[in-house]
Structure 1
């Protein structure tokens, strides 16, 4: 069932495993250490000087935090509760990779993101430690840890959502609930990558590829879980249909509007914030499914 049997512990196997790990690290980082470039590598691995979010916000909790800060600034200035001249000039929507300060809400530090990440994955770790449930249970907790890191990590790249979508496809064929979460997260996560292919020549390609994959996923999983009810709830269907409206607005309407030059990063903001809602919701649903499985395990 995935539980640890300490009677099988072997010091020799531990040393062999440790030797493999040390050799891999030596081969990977040894040349950089010899050339004196290890600080450059570490600065890339831990980009603490590059800001909380990337130039295009990854669809996670910090995107919602950023937009909430912007909304509070606008409301505060409109209601004359804040003086615009006294506010720090947050440049999180300026398209630059740099550190910035929030204007109203407390600014987030790397230590804060580390604490939030650890807190988000702790229930999954405790669950799999106390009640091992085999390979599938381990995979579910692994997904929650990966998604928790994506949700609360520092300077997360939007492409990291693929690290959750790909293994989630394994669980999607096992249960109807996981299939629904997969359809929601994969559709939202894949659309959140659209801004990375931003030239007009790539528009038709990315739309066709996503339509083909999404159509196949919905069709295959619906047939696989036939007779077990709908895979998506009504509000989830409405949310996914909203992605179509967002895509039309950002990819077709906005380039033809006068806002194109005044607010060039508006499509990125809308895409990030809208997709953040779907990703956060999927994270909560995954934890809810873990909680349900824990409750079933407690029953005699």
Structure 2
């Protein structure tokens, strides 16, 4: 981790942040896991036990292999480590198989592959403009962005409780964006192509990458390109805004939100309006993940982790933009505060009402509708910001 330290005169604080969140992930190993745990165990068994020609045809389990080839090879590579933990997890016919060693391997595989995400965050933070940096370490944009990314509440509960490999995939995406900031366009494009071969859900971002590459790499003969240091905080629509385009999409399901929130963190330390949008989007979106963890044991964990992350996000960004107007208007403040009563009703009041048996879906319905309003509002506000911002290097009057 020491190699990831960003020199600030105060030591390798980045390494400390990365190590701290890694220890937290280890503490989450015994927590609840979803059916995705069995999905990936089955994929380990398929790729390890069967010839390549049968990988996408094996149907003993209902959780058939349906990710692109690179992810299949990723599972294949993991399986050769898994056999040293518990050979039985690699038997295709051992449906719903679980053992203490299987649990340890699968959990640690997510934690280990998150190293790519840590490296990508480090690379992105090097591209951040430090003009707004305060005297204190905790007020520096690089430090704030590192915490917002590394301690991302959404990734913590989706990957390390629910069980997924989104951190590894988000690392590929962030690293490709970082390479664009560093004017290493071919590397960025290559990394995104690799990402597409890991998970097809990222295909809808391809047009944004194509537009950005045309503008910033293919058609740059007579146009100067923004420097990496100014690219993040000032990207408008007219100048090829990769992060804004990448962030501007509707959310159809949980993984889409996770990708969006991770990308929009890159903008949150650049401008107050982007910080406001980020806070609305991430707070609402993170709360929308609560139904994923429906067991009683995880209730205090998800509430505590979200409260800590949300309080830090709001307080740190308010400090960063303290010389500008408030990040929230009265309507946005009222909406965000409404998440508290909603949680109290869904978790502590509704289960004791007479409707609990007849209409058990009401808490999920209320959560979905309430969060949809906030997320839609955030996207609307983002579009307004994109369309009204002046181009780089020009004033609003010009």
TM-score by length of 1: 0.55
Q: What is the Cα deviation at residue 181 of structure 1?
A: 0.6
Q: What is the Cα deviation at residue 237 of structure 1?
A: 0.8
Shift of the 129–287 alpha-carbon distance from structure 1 to 2, 3 Å rule, reads farther
Q: 2:284–2:374: 8 Å Cα contact kept in structure 1?
A: yes
Deviations 1:60-105 (CA, angstroms, capped at 9, x unpaired): xxxxxxxxxxxxxxxxxxxxxxxxxxxxxxxxxxxxxxxxxxxxxx
Match of 1:167 among 235, 240, 263: 263
Shift of the 141–273 alpha-carbon distance from structure 1 to 2, 3 Å rule, reads farther
Aligned residue for 1:232, secondary structure, equals coil
Partner of 2:55: 37
Between stretches 235-244 and 288-297, larger displacement belongs to 288-297
C-alpha separation in 2, matches of 1:124 and 1:280 = 23
Q: 1:172–1:179: 8 Å Cα contact kept in structure 2?
A: yes
Q: 2:286–2:306: 8 Å Cα contact kept in structure 1?
A: yes
Q: Does 1:250 align with 2:268?
A: no
Larger RCO (CA within 8 A; separation ≥ 6): 1
Q: How many residues align structurally? A: 196
Q: What is the Cα deviation at residue 128 of structure 1?
A: 8.6
Q: What is the Cα deviation at residue 285 of structure 1?
A: 1.5
C-alpha separation in 1, matches of 2:294 and 2:259 = 22
Provide the aligned C-alpha RMSD in A.
Answer: 3.5
Deviations 1:115-160 (CA, angstroms, capped at 9, x unpaired): xx97x99799769966976643389544544552x43xxxx43133
C-alpha separation in 2, matches of 1:290 and 1:263 = 42
Aligned residue for 2:389, secondary structure, equals helix
Shift of the 147–265 alpha-carbon distance from structure 1 to 2, 3 Å rule, reads farther
TM-score by length of 2: 0.43
C-alpha separation in 1, matches of 2:262 and 2:208 = 22
Q: 2:55–2:65: 8 Å Cα contact kept in structure 1?
A: no
C-alpha separation in 2, matches of 1:275 and 1:244 = 12
Between stretches 281-290 and 211-220, larger displacement belongs to 281-290
Q: What is the Cα deviation at residue 36 of structure 1?
A: 2.4
Partner of 1:195: 291
Match of 2:372 among 276, 282, 286: 276
C-alpha separation in 1, matches of 2:226 and 2:384 = 16
Shift of the 129–194 alpha-carbon distance from structure 1 to 2, 3 Å rule, reads same
Gaps of 5+ in 2: 1-46, 69-202, 217-224
C-alpha separation in 1, matches of 2:346 and 2:295 = 13
Q: How does 1:40-119 map to 2 (within 5 A)?
A: 44-45=66-67
Shift of the 122–209 alpha-carbon distance from structure 1 to 2, 3 Å rule, reads same
Shift of the 190–139 alpha-carbon distance from structure 1 to 2, 3 Å rule, reads farther
Shift of the 144–251 alpha-carbon distance from structure 1 to 2, 3 Å rule, reads farther
C-alpha separation in 2, matches of 1:127 and 1:234 = 36
Q: What is the Cα deviation at residue 259 of structure 1?
A: 1.2
C-alpha separation in 1, matches of 2:280 and 2:51 = 44
Q: What is the Cα deviation at residue 43 of structure 1?
A: 7.4
